[in-house]
Amino acid sequence: MDYPHPILAREGWPFIAACLVASLLAWLLFGLGWSIPLWIVTVFVVQFFRDPPRRLPADPLAVVSPADGRIVALGRAQDPYGQRDALRISVFMNVFNVHSNRSPVDGEIVQVSYFPGRFFHADLDKASLENERNALVLRSAQGLVTVVQVAGLIARRVLCYVAPGQALRRGERFGFIRFGSRVDLYLPLDAVPVVSIGDKVHASSSVLARFATAGVA
């Protein structure tokens, strides 16, 4: 990845610092044995907020995964944000996955829409339309591509750092979801999926689908 970012996501720095301070204080005041549970929590928080660089595939027609996780939905669906029929691919992230979100294609952001909502388990299909979520509609050379960050049962914060009019490069970081979530991807119907339900994928490096043509720039 050629854009700058830390190995540990900046979203996690306050949480990591708080856990470290609490663990050290418990160790100094009560001894190592009493501090062990806090050190375990610290290790979990550090691993949750890791944000490793990833290599992009060479194929310019490849649509890369916007998130780490497992494929939980794949098929034709109505894109409620782009108002069109589309190929939907959904990635569920558990608390052990990297939670940084990255653009699946090169494109210009034409719409960013935030919706407050409920917090059903993100593995459930109804989470796509009823949970807290943030939708990005991108105009790519191959048509509209919609990426939706969906909060989950534990997640309580969807973070998005981009706005309409900005250009995103494929694999570029645009947001983060804290503590378990889902990302829905809506592609043009002529995109050909190359994953199946249950497949494990990694943001930026895993290919979810391929476009048939290069489209119009």
Centroid of chain to Cα 201: 11
Check if 100 is active-site.
no
- Cα separation, 179 vs 144, whole angstroms: 29
- Any residues with CB less than 8 A from the CB of 152 and at least 6 apart, and which? 93, 119, 120, 121, 122, 123, 127, 131, 177, 179, 180, 181, 182
- Cα separation, 139 vs 131, whole angstroms: 25
Radius of gyration from C-alpha coordinates of the chain? 18
Q: Which residues pair with 101 in a beta bridge?
A: 175
pLDDT at res. 181: 81
Tell me which of 35, 181, 204, 206 is the catalytic residue.
181
- Cα separation, 214 vs 133, whole angstroms: 30
Q: Which residues pair with 70 in a beta bridge?
A: 92, 200
Centroid of chain to Cα 134: 11
Task: Give counts: helices (H), strands (E), the chain.
Answer: 3, 14
pLDDT at res. 1: 47
- Cα separation, 144 vs 108, whole angstroms: 10
pLDDT by residue, tens only, the chain of 217 residues: 444 556 877 877 888 899 999 999 999 998 888 999 999 999 988 888 888 888 899 899 999 999 999 999 999 999 999 889 999 999 998 888 888 899 999 999 999 998 886 655 555 565 566 678 899 999 999 999 999 998 866 555 788 889 999 999 999 999 888 766 889 999 999 999 999 999 999 999 999 999 987 665 4
